[in-house]
Each structure stands twice: as structure tokens, then as C-alpha cells.
Amino acid sequence: MRLTPALITEATLALGDREGEKAMSMRRIANELGCDPMAIYRHFPNREALLDAVADQIVDEVPPPAEGEPWDERIRAVLTGMRAVALRHPGIAGHVAARPPLGSRGRRYAGGLLAALAEAGLPPADVVRAFQALIAYSAAGLRMAVDAGERDARWHQVSGAMDDLPGDAMPVVGSEEQFEYGLRLLLNGIRVEGRLSTAEGCPQGTPR
Amino acid sequence: MRLTPALITEATLALGDREGEKAMSMRRIANELGCDPMAIYRHFPNREALLDAVADQIVDEVPPPAEGEPWDERIRAVLTGMRAVALRHPGIAGHVAARPPLGSRGRRYAGGLLAALAEAGLPPADVVRAFQALIAYSAAGLRMAVDAGERDARWHQVSGAMDDLPGDAMPVVGSEEQFEYGLRLLLNGIRVEGRLSTAEGCPQGTPR
DNA sequence: ACCTGAACACCGTTCAAGT
DNA sequence: ACCTGAACACCGTTCAAGT
């Protein structure tokens, strides 16, 4: 059977889902496809490029945000959607966390985020800054979740740092709840910046 | 000469500074120390543990925050300080970005951050959540800076997603400026949460 | 009992040799 | 001209054999 980029990325994704990140080696992918490892290099310049393509592919599974929703709700929907999709594909999730998928599919969603941030009232230069901050935070949150799922979970050291804190409900490191809290902080922060730059002032704030 | 953990971490750090992340292999570190690769395993269970120790070691170079400063300034000082130190050690910076150094030295700084967040007026459970959000964001910002310094810099794709935006000053991906903007968003957000939970400030604020 | 280095089971990628 | 698979230059870690 003729080899195509799509066949390769699909086999890679399936292998990663089934056997994890380290199973996605050029040799094992080739084995999966029944071809020579070098055959893959005629469709992708190197392993990194292949993983980028696999990461971009799963973006298709992210549900598009509802049109009528306010800007902050759309941002939340896209970022938690991407997170959920990545966690459904444990093999590639680590790569998504390291390099946000901004291939052709990812680009579409990026446009939606940028539009939402403009709607929030940020000046264009800050739209870009806030966008990058959101992407960076999401990547880090995903990485925490991935690592927390691993056996040796170094992120759990974070709880170790808190031993002397009043014994309170400790959110699970890398949990959905933890991720959403940080996202709320960022959206709070964006709201404040938006208000400042549209000069509506603090006292009678815009809804929520 | 007798091998000690400190000798090993110092040799590893020096090698990484000089020749980058990939130079810090067990074989090359051993070569640097003039010992058998296996000798290292008597001081560290595996390579990951050694890199954790190296990452924790550079925390010593972070200047402690001034005592009199307000909480937000102290948080900014510690996080930008850690970032600066990591960027001074390019070999280990990637590891710091992947796994915040929370060994014995890192723990001390973590305590300072937790205290600052309590001062901001957050309830104890949110102190922990905000702490983890800050650590996650800092890690991601550092990773962007590290990757941006590399030749192939995938993070630059972020700019690619913004082609159709009104041509405005584009902040350099992973730059100090970009990092500080996201930090400001988070601190804005924490301030809002602090006000809500202490029931001061903006009159109509209701927790959601 | 302690230590070491050969060996295992892999990598990504190059490139010369084959068709 | 195209393709392939042997070979290169590495890995982290295990473990048997040596002292």
C-alpha cells in the first residue's frame, strides 16, 4: 500500500495511544506500517516534524466554540476542549504540551482566541501578549496533568512544599479543577486590562 | 579523587552550560569526571534524579526577595529571578521548565510565594491553586524562551497565526516582556480573587 | 562485599550500495 | 532516479564477571 502523510500520522497516533510516548519511535512506526524506517523520511523531514503533524491532527477533535457565547466563555471552551482532546491521546499529549499545535488546523482555533481577546477590549499588541500567555499556561497545565499521570510524577513535589500549610483541601496537581482556577485568574486579569484600556473604569464593572 | 553528589552536579551543570542539554549524558558526565558511567549511579538512582539535583542547585543563585516589598512585587521578583538564573544555565533550563526545581532549595522559595499569596487575601485552598498556576506559567514561559533560542523554534509559529492581525508591534515570543505581561495578568487575577474573598473593594462582586 | 565495564536493547539519521 | 537497509554514533541501564 502506498504511504501517505495521513497514513503515517494515523499509525503514529494509534501507536502512541496504545503504548505511550516512547513507543512512537521511527523504527516502531515503520514496523506498524510494514515499511522501512527510512520511508517515513520521504514524507517528513524528521521525527519532530512528524510529531508536530500528529499533534495538529488531533485538533480536529476539539469541538468549535458556540458562536453566541461571550468572549471569556469561548476562550474557556477552546482551551479546556484542547486539553481534553490531548488527554484522550496520552501518547502525543506530552508533545502537545511542549509545542502547542499551530499547524493548519491549530491556526483556525488561534484565530478564534485572538478575536475573543480583541472583544475583551485589549489593544492589538496586548491581544498577542495575552494569547501567548494563555497558550503557555494551557501547555503547562497539560504537562502537569501528563506528568501527574506518570508513575514518578515530580509535580507532586509541589504538594511536598506545602506540608506546613494549614491542612486544607489540596487540589490534585494537574487536575481539571486546578487548570480551571489558573484559567480564571488569567481571564480575571484580562478583564481588568480590557477595562483599563477602554477607560470604562472600575466602579460599575461590565457583567461578571 | 572521591566522588560526591556535589562534584557530580557541578560537573553536569558546567558541561550543560558549555555544550548544551544533550551533552549532559551519563557517559559524557562520567568522562568529564574521569570515572566510569556507572559510578554516578551510586550517588543518583538515574539520570532524571541527577538532573533534578542540578536544577535545584541553581536555585541558590536566585536573589532572595526584599522583605519590605508588597506581596505582588515579591512574587514578581522571585519568579523573574528564577527565570533569569535558568536562562544563565542553558543546559539545564529545559529541565527546569519541565520540572520546577522543588528540592530542598526550591522549597524555601516556594514557602515565600505561599506566604505572599496568603497576604493577597486568598483562602488557603486558593493559595495552593494560585501557587501551582504561577509555577506552571513560569515553567511555560521559560520553555518558550529556551525554544525561541533554538534554531528551529516552533513557538515562532505563534506569530504565523497572527498574520491577518493589524500589523502591530509583535512582542518577541518567549521574551522577558512577554513573560512579564502574562505574570501581570495572573497577578491582576489574584488581586481580584483576593478582593472578592475579603469582601472589600468593588461592591457588586460575587464569587462565581 | 564492592566495583566495573562489557553487553543489552534500544535510538535518530546518514549514506553508500543496490535496483 | 529512486529506494533501502546496513552502518554510524550515540543513548540509559542491567548484570555478570572480576577484584
For the cut 70, the answer to whether the pLDDT of residue B169 exceeds it is: no
Q: Do B162 and A52 touch (CB under 8 A)?
A: no
Q: Whose CA is closest to B187, among B124, B112, B137?
A: B137
* Domain annotation covers residue A70: yes
Q: Whose CA is closest to B17, among B78, B47, B58, B49?
A: B58
Percentage of chain B modeled with pLDDT above 70: 83
* Domain annotation covers residue B129: yes
**B110 and B20, same domain (yes or no):** no
* Domain annotation covers residue A33: yes
Q: Between residues A195 and A81, which one has the greater pLDDT? A: A81
What are A27-52's pLDDT values in tens digits?
999 999 999 999 999 999 999 999 99
For the record, the C-alpha cell of B28 comes out as 559524557
Indicate if CB(A1) is under 7 A from strand D: no
Q: Do A137 and B135 touch (CB under 8 A)?
A: no
**A99 and A39, same domain (yes or no):** no
Q: Do B129 and A178 touch (CB under 8 A)?
A: yes
**B100 and B148, same domain (yes or no):** yes
HSE, side-chain direction, 13 A CA sphere, residue B192: 26
**A25 and A71, same domain (yes or no):** no
* Domain annotation covers residue B96: yes
**B102 and B38, same domain (yes or no):** no
- Nucleotide in closest CA–C1' contact with B35: C4
d(CA B188, CA B166): 26
In chain B, at which residue ranges do the beta strands (DSSP E only) sit? Answer: none
The owner of cell 496520552 is: A90
**A111 and A170, same domain (yes or no):** yes
Q: Specify the range with the lowest mean pLDDT, choosing from A106-120, B75-89, B146-160.
A: B146-160
Task: Let me know if B61 is exposed, middle or buried by CB neighbors in 10 A (0-12, 13-18, 19+).
Answer: middle
**A25 and A67, same domain (yes or no):** no
Å between A80 CA and C18 C1'? 52
- What is the per-residue DSSP string for A142-205? HHHHHHHHSSS-GGGHHHHTTTTS----PPPTT-HHHHHHHHHHHHHHHHHHHHHHHT--STTP
Q: Which of B157, B177, B184 sits opposite A102 (nearest CB)?
A: B157
For the cut 50, the answer to whether the pLDDT of residue B206 exceeds it is: no
**A33 and A64, same domain (yes or no):** no
* Domain annotation covers residue A207: no
Domain that holds residue A33: 5-45
Q: What is the CATH number of the domain that holds A36?
A: 1.10.10.60
DSSP code at position B151: S
pLDDT tier for residue A173 given thresholds of 50, 70 and 90:
confident
pTM for the structure as a whole: 0.87
* Domain annotation covers residue B71: yes
Percentage of chain A modeled with pLDDT above 90: 70
* Domain annotation covers residue B206: no
Å between B208 CA and D3 C1'? 62
Number of domains in chain A: 2
**B90 and B154, same domain (yes or no):** yes
* Domain annotation covers residue B54: no
